[in-house]
Amino acid sequence: MHNQKFKSLHLAPVGKIKNGLIFHNEWLELNVITPITYLLKIYLAKTRIIKIGALGRFKFKRGYYIYVGSARKNLGSRVERHLRKKMKKRFWHIDYLLEYGRVTDVLLTHIPEEKVAQTLTKWLDIPAPGFGASDKNSRAHLFKLKGKNLPELPFSLTPFKKRVIYS
């Protein structure tokens, strides 16, 4: 299973429990040729003005956000890092937002990160232009949901549910 291209992703509800999520053992240290795109659904309990590193200060309204990222190596470790309550060092733009928000869901897809971000740009607002896209061609990788749910998308997502990961 390691170092191969995936057409679709399948996870079994068995493995190690980390931060309230069950990770299939193979996903903890998975290395693949094609990066796996993950979406973090984040809840911000109140409106805040947050400084996002060198990107600047932005007003983030109370509600739900979607962040799009990808990992080629150690997907489980990357997701686990985003789920930590306290971070030793802020490295990515998302680290600044996660000081105030909490991840409620993690979704996976084999669709490239850029394509997912460009698709979401068509339906969702961008609260901070350039967020998560310093090394990308898209406008941003953070989007504000209009309610609690994502709009219907032209590709499938595999959810990491609380306590269970479904295929």
Sequence letter at residue 76: G
- The answer to whether the beta carbons of residues 79 and 160 sit under 8 Å apart is yes
Mean pLDDT of the chain: 75
- Model pLDDT, residue 4: 33
- Model pLDDT, residue 52: 95
Higher pLDDT: 149 or 76? It is 149
- Model pLDDT, residue 88: 66
pLDDT at residue 46 tops 70: yes
- Model pLDDT, residue 166: 34
- The answer to whether the beta carbons of residues 134 and 84 sit under 8 Å apart is no
- Residue 96 pLDDT class (50, 70, 90 cuts): very high
Q: Output the pTM of the full model.
A: 0.76
Mean pLDDT of 7-16: 34
- Residue 136 pLDDT class (50, 70, 90 cuts): confident
Mean pLDDT of 153-165: 56
- Model pLDDT, residue 33: 56
- Residue 121 pLDDT class (50, 70, 90 cuts): very high
- The answer to whether the beta carbons of residues 111 and 135 sit under 8 Å apart is no
Mean pLDDT of 69-80: 80
Higher pLDDT: 136 or 54? It is 54
User: Where along the chain do its domains lie?
Assistant: 16-165
Lateral strand order in the sheet of 63-73: 142-144, 63-73, 31-44, 101-109, 158-161, 164-165
- Model pLDDT, residue 109: 83
